[in-house]
Every structure is written in structure tokens, then in C-alpha cells.
Amino acid sequence: MSAPSKSRENILERVRAATKTVALPPAELAAAFASIPRDYIRRGGMTVTACHERFIERLREYDAEVVETTEEELPATIAAQLAGSGKHTFVAPAGLPAAWQAEGFEWKLDGGLSAAEIEKAEGVVTAAFCGVADSGTIVLHHSATEGRRVITLLPDWHLCVVYASQVVETLPEYFDRCGQTPGLATYISGPSATADIEMTRIKGVHGPRFLHVVLVRDSGQ
Amino acid sequence: MSQGVYHPVLDPAKARPFPEAVLPVLRNPQLRKNVAHAIDVIQAKRGKLVVEKTDWQALRTAGAAIRTHALENLGAYLTQFEERCTAAGGVVHWAADAAEARQIILNLLREENASEVIKIKTMTSAEIQLNPFLEAAGVRTYETDLAEIILQLGEDEPSHIVVPALHVNRAQVREIFARRMGLKDLSDDPRELTNAARNYLRRKFLDIPTAISGANFLVAETGSVVVVESEGNGRMCLTLPRTMITLAGIEKVLPRFQDLEVMLQVLARSATGERMNPYTSIWTGVTPGDGPQKFHVVLLDNGRSSILAKKTERQTLKCIRCAACMNACPVYRQTGGHAYGSVYPGPIGAILTPQLMQMHHAQTLPFASSLCGACYEVCPVKINIPEVLLELRSQVVNQERREAGRLFDPMYLGLRIANLIFSRAWIFHTAQFFGRIGLGVFTRKDGWIHSLPSVGGKWTQTRDLRGLPKQTFHGWWAARAAKPSGEAK
């Protein structure tokens, strides 16, 4: 076995030799990348309402529960969802709005909770960065309102609040919204699932078995 | 558990040639039924979702162009990935071959004093036969993907790159779990079986502080790693441990973060017939307070750079491991994956495996195809697999021809004679004359040849050959010209 640094040089040398006739000088790389044909659909053509309906339909198709509400009704809707879950202990990301933390339930505010503590909680409530209608996807960038990755993983029940203005029709539209690239991101499309045994889709293997989405209509809609 | 048991079946250096390896499978109706069922389900789901996507061909074109661009400039993008990943707190290692990758990973585990490790499904780790190596070195490995648990506990091998246990049915899974998890009362309901796996692994996720993953993509622009999965076992391994080790082939690099908008649209649809897999995780080095605080990436060459050097074969490395080609392949549908003698079965395996072996092993695989082209048609990054198959076939033939023992091999002898015969018209006509007499001996009353000796038997053992007609075309043409009306019988 050669020393690690030597392998690095050897591999890069072999790669460079192998691509000698096709590799571009660094100055031309960006232009070549820009000329890659991208004739796929970037912006969807749906009306806002149709786009939201598509988002809800696709989420439901993958076994997520969806309810719609308004900004004014949001705290009450969250409270009703929590009550309906039959669960009592919930994790809240550090930045979760106080109004979302309904009374009558036990809240564990995540300021670096241990995995064991999070695992004891029955559910979690978070915001989202974006929703993608085409694939029924919830995007988390793990900001203060979306929480650390672990809190949306260990509890069995996840309630995610998505604002209608956050919903885009196509995946490329989400990438356009990113601005700065996220260091951490999780895309969730329906609850944890497997089809490893005879291709039978089973909901809930290791991640949350229940995904609830509250879609908040913007005023005037 | 005795995961140290070594299964040579998927080691291309030791596997039997495809035509031999395939025989036990073809005689196993249960296995063929399991494989055909799984494939029919995925194919139907994929078909529906691809039709729904009106820009599918444009996505394929973009996907192919992005992967080609990344490979052609791999040196630049690899070093960019290394730089960005390192800046974000990751440690990048380079492994020239399987042995070096295994040793790097073992050394990292020793630094962590790890006697156990949890794993996310990674075909690359199977390629370098990591588990048996770690087990032999005293590190217990726990696969966490449901299919991989089935295989690990059942001491079986993967037969598909996305659904590795598709050859095992629910009754067989029940038997394995009941025996290995000590659950006597387990039923064969997939829900109950899945739940058994959840309970089996829950504590391991929480207790074992070191994990190993593969990577679906590496992003050069950001130094990020992308893993797509369904169950959440990946997220568990990526989030809970203290230390994360990612093993990735050097070809996995994408130039920019935004390229995922293409790859993620085609990958799940092609792989499992879903619009999007349930979970996609993207992380960049180390994030304080969130997830593993030590992160290592092992970049593996293991034959890839030599594939990169060849113009036609280079496209093999565009592969994003969706397995659409094996699901579409009429050969794979009949044989399943084990006959390919590699962790990469099906059409992509038929071109990737012999090349990873530098054409020293697995030379029968490029012939395990009808060249129907279904693999090319479904490939989301447009790898022209039939083109590469043909190129590799010619290399295998040239290799064989040079072997001294082949000088009098009936097939090569026959081909050399044919070469001579077709070179001059008079030799052709003479040969035709004697050939008709010769073949006439084997032609039965029904006008068919049912059996030929020697190399000709390779044809007649599976199909009949029509006897030669009474008149040759040349004879017919001459007779036609001789008649004034121009009509010949």
C-alpha cells in the first residue's frame, strides 16, 4: 500500500492523463458548463391554485395527511392536529414561533437535546423551506424554525407547516429559490417507506411513520 | 452472527462464466418468479411516471450532458470537491484500489476504537468487499437497509443494485428473521417483517457511534455529499453517530448543486418508479451541533481512471446506479443478478464489471445480452450500453485470438476459413458446392437440420437450422436471365 498522499497524486495524474484530449482549461470550464442543453421545464405553467392542489394531491398519494388553513387560524389548526394525534410530548426547533406551541401539551425546546431525549418525544412540529408540487416534496434547510436533522427523524409523528407562498410547481423552481446553496438539506417525499419485500410499499421503517402537512393560505387567497 | 462467511459468488475474479453460472438460476422456478414479479411491479410504476413527465427526453439529454461534462473534466471537479469539502471540515482520502480503501477505512475505525459500525446500503462497499474484511479485523458491521439486513442475516448476496433482495420472497424473509432475530411467532406480513427490522435496528442506531455510507452524488461546487433513500435508515446513520465515513467512486462528482434538479428528477423515477424517493439528504463537511462532528470521504479509483481513458467506454462512468437497465433487460429478467458474478449485475454490470477488472475477468459478461437496446432506451443519462457491449466483445475476441491454444479452436479456425472463402468469388462458389453436399447429409426429410457436430452444435442445441434450398440465388438468377420472358421459377 502506498502512502495516502501518493495515491492522491497518482489518481489525479491518471485522471488527467485519461481526459487529456477532452478536459478544458480552467478558464473555459464555466462557459462549457453554461452551454449544457437544459431544455427541460424550469417554470411550471399551472395557476397558483392548481399548483397548490397538485401539491396536496401528491402529498396524499404518498400517505401524508394534509390540512389547509389561514394565517389567523394557524395556531388553532396546529392545536387541533396535535390533539388529534393522541400524542402529548412534542419537540420544537429552537426558533419555532411561540404561537405554534399549543397549550396543553408538553414541549421540549431543542437547544441541543440528546438523541435519547428526542426519541422519548412522540412528535415534532417544524416549518419548512419550500414545498415542491410536482413530486409532493417538503424541503428542509434546517434553519432555526426547521430544526436540526435529528428532531424530524426520531419522533414518530411530524407536523410540518408550509406557507402557500413557499410552494413551487417544479423542482428547478426550488433550486432557483435557494439563493445561497444550503450546507444541510433534507427533502422529504411522504413518510419513511420501503418496498424491499416483494415490492409491497410499507409506510414507516425508521423515519417518522406519520407526516402531517399544514398548508397555510396567504391572506386574500 | 457469522457475517465473516465469505461468498465468492459475487467476486468477478472467482465467479464462474455467465453461461455456467446461469444454469442453477434457470432451474430455480421460485427465484425466477420472485425476480419477474419484482421487475414487473417496478417497470409498471416507472412507465406511468415517465409518461407523466412531458420533458423526460430533455431531462435525459441534460442528465447525459452534465455527466459527460463532469467526467471529461473530472480532475478539475475532483480537486474542487476536495477543497470545498475540506474547507467545510471534512477529511478527504484517496484510495487507488480496493485494498487501500479497505485499509483506510479500517484505520479510521481503529482511531475511533470502533468495534461495531452501522452502514447505509452502498454498492461501492460491496465492490471492495468491505464487510468480510472488517469482520475479519474484528469490526462487526450492521447493514441497516431492510434489503441488506435480509441478505446479511440470510448470508445471501445482493442481486440488484436498488432492490438487492428482490430474489427473496416474504416467506423466505420470515424464515430468516425468525431464525436470526429469535422471533418465533413472526408472520410473513411485510408490515410485520418491516417492523421487526425497525425494532432490531433502533438501539443500534442510537448506540453505535460510527457509520459508513456510500454517496449518490458529490457536489464539486459546494463539497457536499448527497444520499437518496427510502426508509430513513440513511438519515439515522447520517445524523446520530459521532463519526461518518463516506466511500465514493471518483466518478460520482457533479459540477454544481443545481445539477441535482436534473438528477433527482430522473433518479427516483428510473429506480423505484416514484416521483421522488422519500428521503434525500445533503450535507457539507461538518455542521456544528447537527450530525457527526467527524466526517471522512474516501474517494475510490479501483479501475475507474482506466475506464475514463477510453473514448467509447468512458460513458460507462456516467451511471447514476438507478438500475433501470436491469429492470428493462430481457436477460436479467430471466436470470436475476447472481449469475453476473458481480455486485453490479444486468446490462450496466455487463459493461462495468469486466472493465473494473481491466478485462482480466468477467469476459463472458459482454455476451450476456441480446443487444436489443432496451437498456439504452431507459437509461436516464443515455449510456449507450449496446455500443459499449460491442466494443468489449471485440476486445474479448481479440484477447482470445491471441491466446496460443486458440489456433486450432474450431470456432476461430472456422472463422479464419470463412474469411478465406468470402475473399474470392470462385472459392465461395466452390465452397458452396461442397457445403451443400455436406449440409445435405445433416438435413432431415422435413427440410430442417436438427443437429450439427462440433462448433455447429452450439447453434443446433438450442434451435433448428433450415436446410439449404435446392437452388442457389446465383443459379436462380442465371436461369431467369436465360428465359426470354424473364420469368423464372
Q: What residue type is assigned to position B4 of the chain?
A: G
Q: Rounded distance, CA B161 to CA B143, Å? A: 15
B291 and A150: CB-CB below 8 Å? yes
DSSP B184: T
Chain B interface test: which of A15, A124, A137 (most B C-beta within 10 Å): A15
Q: A136: closest CA among A94, A102, A96, A187?
A: A187
b/e map of B111-142 (b: 16 or more CB within 10 Å)?
A: ebebeebbbbbbbbbbbbbbbebbbeeebbbb
**Per-residue pLDDT for A192 more than 90?**
no
What is the residue-level pLDDT of chain B in tens, covering all 489 positions? 333 333 447 899 999 999 999 999 899 999 999 999 999 999 999 999 999 999 999 999 999 999 999 999 999 999 999 999 999 999 999 999 999 999 999 999 999 999 999 999 999 999 999 999 999 999 999 999 999 999 999 999 999 999 999 999 999 999 999 999 999 899 999 999 999 999 999 999 999 999 999 999 999 999 999 999 999 999 999 999 999 999 999 999 999 999 999 999 999 999 999 999 999 999 999 999 999 999 999 999 999 999 999 999 999 999 999 999 999 999 999 999 999 999 999 999 999 999 999 999 999 999 999 999 999 999 999 999 999 999 999 999 998 888 867 777 887 888 889 999 999 999 998 998 888 888 889 999 898 999 888 878 888 888 898 888 888 888 899 999 888 765 544
Interface of B with A in 27-66 (CB under 8 A): 34, 37-38, 41-42, 54-55, 58-59, 61-62, 65-66
For residue A218, give the C-alpha cell. Answer: 396567504
Q: B339: closest CA among B8, B5, B10?
A: B10
Q: Are A75 and A102 in contact (CB under 8 A)?
A: yes
Q: How far is A175 from chain B (nearest CA, A)?
A: 6
Interface of B with A in 325-354 (CB under 8 A): none
β B243-249/B294-300 pair status: parallel
For residue B82, give the C-alpha cell. Answer: 476536495
B96 and A135: CB-CB below 8 Å? no
B305 and A11: CB-CB below 8 Å? yes
Residues of A in contact with B205 (CB under 8 A): 206
Averaged pLDDT for residues A187-212: 86
Sequence-separated (6 or more) residues with CB below 8 Å from residue A126: A93, A96, A140, A145, A146, A147, A151, A152, A158, A159, A160, A161
**Distances from the Cα of B342 to the Cα of A77, B8, B127, B285, B288, angstroms:** 53, 10, 8, 32, 40
Is A10's Cβ below 8 Å from some Cβ in B?
yes
Q: Closest to B170 (Cβ–Cβ): which among A24, A197, A205?
A: A197
B230 and A195: CB-CB below 8 Å? yes
Which SS3 state, helix, strand or coil, does residue B356 take?
helix
Averaged pLDDT for residues A59-78: 95
Q: What residue type is assigned to position A7 of the chain?
A: S
A187 and B276: CB-CB below 8 Å? yes
Q: What pLDDT score was predicted for residue B6?
A: 38
Averaged pLDDT for residues A80-92: 97
**How many residues does the structure list for chain A?**
221
Enumerate the H helices of B403-449 as residue ranges.
Answer: 410-421, 425-442
Residues of A in contact with B197 (CB under 8 A): 205
**How many residues does the structure list for chain B?**
489
Residues of B in contact with A16 (CB under 8 A): 75
Q: A173: closest CA among A32, A42, A51, A48?
A: A42
Q: Among all residues of chain A, which has the CA nearest to that of B206?
A: A115
Q: What pLDDT score was predicted for residue A1?
A: 45
Q: What pLDDT score was predicted for residue B8?
A: 42
Is B93's Cβ below 8 Å from some Cβ in A?
yes
Q: How far is B360 from chain A (nearest CA, A)?
A: 20
Q: Closest to B62 (Cβ–Cβ): which among A19, A38, A187?
A: A38
Residue A85 burial (CB count, 10 A):
18
Q: Rounded distance, CA A193 to CA B277, Å? A: 9
Which SS3 state, helix, strand or coil, does residue B14 take?
coil
Q: Is the ipTM of this complex over 0.90?
A: yes
Q: Rounded distance, CA B197 to CA B193, Å? A: 7
Residues of B in contact with A197 (CB under 8 A): 146, 150, 165, 170, 173, 190, 193-194
Using alpha carbons only, give the angle B145, B150, B151 rounded to the nearest 5 degrees: 95
Residues of B in contact with A45 (CB under 8 A): none
Residues of B in contact with A168 (CB under 8 A): none
Predicted confidence (pLDDT) per residue in A13-25, tens digit: 999 999 999 999 9
Q: What pLDDT score was predicted for residue B60?
A: 98
What structural domains does chain B harbor? 8-306 (3.40.50.10420), 324-407 (no CATH), 413-482 (no CATH)
Q: Rounded distance, CA A218 to CA B379, Å? A: 41
Q: Are A52 and A167 in contact (CB under 8 A)?
A: yes
**Per-residue pLDDT for A220 more than 70?**
no
Q: Closest to A181 (Cβ–Cβ): which among B37, B222, B233?
A: B222
B277 and A137: CB-CB below 8 Å? no
Which SS3 state, helix, strand or coil, does residue A56 take?
helix
Is A43's Cβ below 8 Å from some Cβ in B?
no
Local confidence band at A9 (pLDDT 50, 70, 90 cut-offs): very high
Residues of A in contact with B248 (CB under 8 A): none
* Interface A-B: count of C-beta contacts within 8 A: 245
Q: What pLDDT score was predicted for residue B483?
A: 80
Q: How far is B27 from chain A (nearest CA, A)?
A: 21
Please count the CA atoms within 13 angstroms of the CA of B66 that sit on its side-chain side.
29
* Domain spans, chain A: 4-34, 48-217
Phi, psi of B289 (to 5 degrees): 85, -5
Q: B338: closest CA among B31, B1, B5, B4?
A: B31
Q: B32: closest CA among B376, B370, B331?
A: B331
CATH architecture of A48-217: 3-Layer(aba) Sandwich (3.40)
Which SS3 state, helix, strand or coil, does residue B63 take?
helix
